[in-house]
Amino acid sequence: MAGTATVAIHRREGSYSDRWIGRCAELGIPYAVVDCYAPDIVSRLASCRALLWHFTHARPCDLLMARNVLTAAELLGLEVFPDRATSWHFDDKIAQKYLLEAVGAPLARSWVWYDLESANAFIDGATLPLVFKLRRGAGSVNVRLVRTRSEARALARRAFDGGFAPTEGPLTDARRRVGRARTRHDLAGMLLRVPATLIRMNRARQRADREKGYVYFQEFLPGNAFDMRLTVIGRRAFAFTRNVRPGDFRASGSGSIDYDVRRIDPRCVTTAFEVARRARSQSMAFDFVRDASGAPRILEVSYGFLSKAVYACPGHWDERLGWHEGHVWPEDAILEDLLERLEGGIDAASM
Ligand SMILES: Nc1ncnc2c1ncn2[C@@H]1O[C@H](COP(=O)(O)OP(=O)(O)O)[C@@H](O)[C@H]1O
Ligand SMILES: [Mg+2]
């Protein structure tokens, strides 16, 4: 029974750990809040049965070492979220390209080049426009449309020279941010926060490595007024759509979410289940848009996402495409699956 196991939870306020801790307390599951940054974390974990850590792309230190600690925990025999299969490609669109190709997923055609000559040869013959992306980043901050060969060549040159800062700058998405503050009648508040925001951005910039040594392009799939965000957690699939920003092709980070399930292509649901299964992923969020023939194509995947956006979905599908009405917190679903695995493991061990 899971009650005999201690579930270790790395706490980060505002992350999935808030609900994980709350749920464990509610359900009477023995849990321990652990600090995965502690130098003796591995020996501390040795007495636990499971580890949950919602690590984030927004913390360079998480990206530096979270997967190392999680993998070590897996080796100790703990049930882990996210496990290696779920997290190895997180915040890395290049890793996702290899993964999605390996499992035969309908990824939008993507190219990665590791030297300038090959990149330029590709650019010379490529169909434009192309979408240029850094492998890292969220909310569309590192995604842009490249309309000309000279623009593509300039980006490639920079990729093999000084590289790019992967974190947002003061002018990134400024129009959207001002727009949001305006709708909240909070322009003055936003201006007051400018100095703190600049300090935070500067700190993030200093800590993050520059992105260089590769250049990544994706075919541009035009005419999508929204993208379809599918989220598979175990046997559940959630979906919503995000409208692109006005006058832009990018949806991610627009903040304009629509929960009308009639906007979801049913093929996205089956594909998402199938890809998550083949990737052996405990949790996988997909960005889909349609190609010229109307078929859904995957742009990227992620184990982590904004949980309240998924909670707001009116229901979810199971693997047989049965619809289940009602809201589910992703954190609860993740914990439920982990406890189930733990229970199975303990039952099998005591037989
Ligand atoms: N190849 C593409 N064709 C058309 N639209 C795209 C393409 N790639 C990205 N987009 C749009 O840009 C948004 C951000 O791209 P994405 O790869 O998801 O980056 P991020 O990690 O910032 O979310 C997507 O939500 C989608 O609306
Ligand atoms: Mg995205």
pLDDT tens-digit profile of 47-91?
Answer: 999 999 999 999 999 999 999 999 999 999 999 999 999 999 999
Q: Hey, whose CA ends up nearest to atom 21 of ligand 1? A: 138
Any ligand 1 atom below 6 A from CB of 237: no
Q: Hey, whose CA ends up nearest to atom 22 of ligand 1? A: 140
Q: How many Å lie between the centroid of ligand 1 and the Cα of residue 171? A: 19
- The pLDDT value given to residue 344: 85
On whether the CB atoms of residues 313 and 238 are closer than 8 A, the answer is: yes
User: How many angstroms separate the Cα of 51 from the Cα of each of 86, 90, 267, 323?
Assistant: 14, 18, 34, 31
Q: How far apart, in whole angstroms, are the C-alpha atoms of residue 284 and residue 109?
A: 20
Q: How many Å lie between the centroid of ligand 2 and the Cα of residue 122? A: 25
Q: How many Å lie between the centroid of ligand 1 and the Cα of residue 140? A: 6
- The pLDDT value given to residue 3: 39
- The pLDDT value given to residue 172: 67
pLDDT over 90 (residue 29): yes
Averaged pLDDT, 325-346? 94
Q: How many Å lie between the centroid of ligand 2 and the Cα of residue 91? A: 10
Structure tokens at 139: 């909310």
Q: How many Å lie between the centroid of ligand 2 and the Cα of residue 40? A: 35
Residue among 307, 266, 303 at smallest CA distance from 286: 303
pLDDT over 90 (residue 181): no
Any ligand 1 atom below 6 A from CB of 129: no
| CATH 3.40.50.20 domain range(s) in the chain | 2-81+332-349
3-state secondary structure of 22: helix
- The pLDDT value given to residue 208: 77
- The pLDDT value given to residue 195: 73
Q: How many Å lie between the centroid of ligand 2 and the Cα of residue 179? A: 21
Residue among 44, 21, 16, 43 at smallest CA distance from 31: 21
Ligand nearest to the CA of 93: 1
Q: What is the pTM of this model?
A: 0.92
Structure tokens at 269: 């649901």
Q: How many Å lie between the centroid of ligand 2 and the Cα of residue 257? A: 13
Within the chain, residue ranges assigned H as helices are 17-27, 41-45, 60-75, 84-87, 93-102, 116-125, 149-159, 174-183, 187-192, 194-207, 266-279, 307-311, 330-349
- The pLDDT value given to residue 5: 54
Any ligand 1 atom below 6 A from CB of 130: no
- The pLDDT value given to residue 174: 66
Any ligand 1 atom below 6 A from CB of 298: no
Averaged pLDDT, 118-131? 98
Per the DSSP assignment, residues forming a β-bridge with 242 are 227, 257
- The CATH number of the structural domain formed by 226-320 is 3.30.470.20
Substitution site in 97, 249, 258 for ligand 1 pocket (most atoms within 8 Å of beta carbon)? 249
The mean pLDDT value of the chain amounts to 93
Residue carrying the six token digits 């699939």: 237
Any ligand 1 atom below 6 A from CB of 285: no
Any ligand 1 atom below 6 A from CB of 228: no
- The CATH number of the structural domain formed by 2-81+332-349 is 3.40.50.20
- The pLDDT value given to residue 207: 73
Q: Hey, whose CA ends up nearest to atom 26 of ligand 1? A: 250
Any ligand 1 atom below 6 A from CB of 251: yes
- The pLDDT value given to residue 55: 98
Dump pLDDT digits (tens) for 218-262. 999 999 999 999 999 999 999 999 999 999 999 999 999 999 999
Q: Hey, whose CA ends up nearest to atom 14 of ligand 1? A: 140
Averaged pLDDT, 299-306? 98
Q: Hey, whose CA ends up nearest to atom 13 of ligand 1? A: 250
Q: How far apart, in whole angstroms, are the C-alpha atoms of residue 49 and residue 27?
A: 17
Q: How many Å lie between the centroid of ligand 2 and the Cα of residue 298? A: 10
Residue 346: pLDDT band (50, 70, 90) is low
Residue 325: pLDDT band (50, 70, 90) is very high
Averaged pLDDT, 119-142? 97
| CATH 3.30.470.20 domain range(s) in the chain | 226-320
> C-alpha 144: how far from its chain's center?
18
Any ligand 1 atom below 6 A from CB of 286: no
- The pLDDT value given to residue 180: 67
- The pLDDT value given to residue 175: 63
Residue 4: pLDDT band (50, 70, 90) is very low
- The pLDDT value given to residue 89: 98
Torsion angles phi and psi, residue 59, rounded to 5: -115, 110
